Structure 1
């Protein structure tokens, strides 16, 4: 995919201070939306060989009429592999097209395939574990309670239309506040969040928002499966939370495509969060479990 150099006059610093910014038609750049939809239909055809993929719609809006919950989960899992190269190309394209920023950009390895059917169509107990926020709704949270840097920015890319009733809810008044979480990494009760707001997107729009905005998935009350892809980047070297539950690498955009590309994630890997992640993996391989996270407050490390 190609783009016009610096064709997106966007300040990511404004996003990190709380602005919710929509790149109208951002996924149309370089034919990305068309390529994603073609790859999606091919994946549906492989996963559901008895169903005409055209019947589910190019953005999967009718998928729940032709697939049960387990099949939708399988399609989502297969799309994680099928769409990874395209989603990385979109992230690189947007990063290169941004106007010069006041800090270097670091591109995240995270990929979120969010195929969310209407809530009433999900068979209880049929969904696999760990699909909250991807196939089923997730309650209010900030991303750094999980594995995300506190200075991360989400690219929430609408493959189909996002309507009120199947998108995200934000709590702008809570941004930057010292919020408590429970053991499930969601907002602890009885905290002031201010009024919620949500945003509608057309197919191909990209919503940019700071990962530490308090936000939640709306339970899908529409009759359409909502399909969104998410990628992340950081403005400046990633700063990981002291009490985050995981770690993902970010790569220095300046080094990608150069002889120094193997060192692109070195700033991510030389952090306390990376060391903790390595120790958790070693304990897991040794057969020991990690105790659940205790209620805590957000702090950047």
Structure 2
């Protein structure tokens, strides 16, 4: 038993030593990845996205809808700008497997998200708050930034590292179950089989980072990033007085701190805005 425990701990230490370091585009923040690859998450995301869109409980708004056309138009502009930036700045390998897709889902939820691999969904419930293309670009730029920053990969890596201790104990008991833990992590990230599970829980750090990157992405796409302030002010108003904030705001920074940080980040984003 003692030998097995030592083996388990040694295996855990070896796994930790095999971590690799990646850099977030635009912000330059370093983070470690372990146990789950970006390709794995993109594959799982594509499956989950397809399952969601084909579910009888999901109503995808027709492409003939003006709102759907607006979402696809804004998405195309931002994704083209992101592709260009990534390819020109040494990050092209990171998005080589991306197959961008943009859909509007009929739902009163004030929400939107982007999965790894460029799978984007916007809910109709957020459109009264976005109001126009610039407001929509704020939301979509922010959500696309989560995917480009590989926040779900970082989150999965942290989860796997946290599980190493329990894996070592399990090895000592004669049953590690490591592969099942890895699969469980992926399933938890995307909530396969449950629509609500597709809404990735975001840390405050990741949210503010997505805000900063999103400002630059919308600016690169030709949308004035100063529009983000009025959008978040409207979002704050929409969530005020309610017992439960919109899903889009769960685990997010306070409205005041978010807007204050956006104001600080605007000068950097404006460098990419050509007013076209």
Normalising by the residue count of structure 2, what TM-score does the alignment of the two structures yield?
Answer: 0.28
- Bigger radius of gyration: 2
**Which structure features the higher share of helix residues?**
2
Bigger fraction of residues in strand: 1
